[in-house]
Amino acid sequence: MALHSTDIARFSWGALRGYPARTLLMLLAMAIGVGAVVILTALGDGARRYVLDEFAGLGTNLVIIFPGRSETTGIDPSAMMGETTRDLTLDDAKALLRSARVKRIAPINVGQVEVSHGSRSREVVVLGSNDDLLGIRHWQMGQGKFLPKMDIGRAASLVVIGKTIRDELFGAERALGEWIRLGDRRFRVIGVMGSEGRSIGVDVQETVIIPVASAQQMFNTSSLFRILVEAKNREAIEPVKQMVIDVLQKRHQGEKDVTVVTQDAVLSTFDDILGALTYAVSGIAAISLAVAGILIMNVMLVAISERTAEIGLLKALGASRGQILRLILAEATLLSALGGLCGLGLGQLGCWIIRQAFPVLPAYAPTWVIVSVFALALFTGLLFSLLPARHAARLDPVLALSGR
């Protein structure tokens, strides 16, 4: 005596349609539960991606080289001061560029100097670097061009200025092609930074950028403040870091006198924190699924006591306990599946509304969430209908049929 699955499905569907108010109520509960999980996960994941994107603004796959060692291992007093016996030089930077895993390299020098144009002047942070800095930092140009591609050992009287500097020195006048004075040297303005160029720690709009060799001349030094190395991809970060350490140690007569930091470490920490946050939020949302499950259980119990006579009748007509169990579970599964689908629709709609309201937030629910929340909805529906189904299967047909 095997019920055909099409018969089960049709019978359950009929039972659901026979009581539209109750069915709608349970669908709503399930849909809200599923929708809440989808929306909250999308929010959490969106926030995570937003922060990661912000960090990517600092540069991706970045290996940063500082002169000096961060840990004091030797007895050399200068090492204990965090200083190094040997500076980072432009030749160091050139040596690193030879690796195939390195995509770009930007040596950086920093100093402060007075900038002036006509009668206006102010103190300004000068960044000495090369053409690769723009790409490494994901900066955008406002006007003109960034530093041209040229040998990093060559000085040139070219400058790219931040927007604030441009506004303060030139006001409404045209800046491109004009000459400004940095300290006692004259530089021609070839570009203005775009307004988005703000990254953590440095306000690009308050700086001017000149070729690194010119900066070294200006500050009368041969050392560098940082070298930024961009690896070809994520997998190349660790090999590049090792390569940097090896090459510089060789060049510095076996001294490990540089500190190499990968941005990856920082990034993955944030990734972990925000990922955990997303899990937590989805976990909280999943509670609403459990609530939906309990509601389904209660409504199913009521439904069964209302349908006692029907269940008794089915028994009299030859339904075994197993068959009753399967019919009720099929009904719950059908309900959960429909409610789950409605919930996914609701969730996607919610995500869409959030994206319309906050365009910076990439609020998309990850695919694995959509799949697992649907599976969870089915599981919840099934789990919480087990009790009512068993209750129905054990109903005494005599009492059921005489229940007038």
Partner 1 sequence: MIELVNIHRDFRVGDQTVHALDDVTLTIQAGEYVSIMGPSGSGKSTLLNLLGLLDRPTAGTYHLNGQDVTSLDDLQQARVRNREIGFVFQMFHLVPRLTAAENIALPLLLAGVPAEQRIPRVEKVLEELNIADRGHHKPDQLSGGQRQRVAIARATVTEPEVLLADEPTGNLDHRSGQDVVRILEGLNKRGITLIMVTHDPEMGQRARRQLHMMDGQLAIDNGSA
Q: Which residues bind partner 1 (CB under 8 A)?
A: 1-4, 6-7, 11, 14-15, 17-18, 309-310, 312-323, 397-398, 401-402, 404
Residue type, 261: V
Closest to partner 1 by CB, 177 vs 318, is 318
Q: How far is the CB of 318 from partner 1 (least distance, A)?
A: 2
> Which structure tokens are listed for 122?
């102010």
From the list 269, 272, 273, 286, the residue with the least C-alpha distance to 40 is: 286
Q: How far is the CB of 395 from partner 1 (least distance, A)?
A: 11
How far from 191 is each of 92, 133, 145, 169, 383, CA to CA, in Å? 28, 14, 5, 14, 65
Q: How far is the CB of 18 from partner 1 (least distance, A)?
A: 4
Number of other residues whose CB lies within 10 A of the CB of residue 230: 23
Q: How far is the CB of 304 from partner 1 (least distance, A)?
A: 14
Q: How far is the CB of 393 from partner 1 (least distance, A)?
A: 9
Q: How far is the CB of 404 from partner 1 (least distance, A)?
A: 6
Sort 367 into a burial class: Cβ within 10 Å, 0-12 / 13-18 / 19+: exposed
Q: How far is the CB of 403 from partner 1 (least distance, A)?
A: 9
Closest to partner 1 by CB, 17 vs 98, is 17
For helices 20-56 and 321-357, the axis angle rounded to 10 degrees is 40
DSSP 80-141: HTT--SS---HHHHHHHTT-TTEEEEEEEEEEEEEEEETTEEEEEEEEEE-THHHHHTT--E
Closest to partner 1 by CB, 198 vs 321, is 321
Closest to partner 1 by CB, 12 vs 278, is 12
CB of 192 closer than 8 Å to CB of 177: no
Can you give the length of the chain in residues?
404
Closest to partner 1 by CB, 15 vs 292, is 15
Closest to partner 1 by CB, 298 vs 402, is 402
| 194-105-129-156 Cα dihedral, nearest 10 degrees | -110
Closest to partner 1 by CB, 386 vs 401, is 401
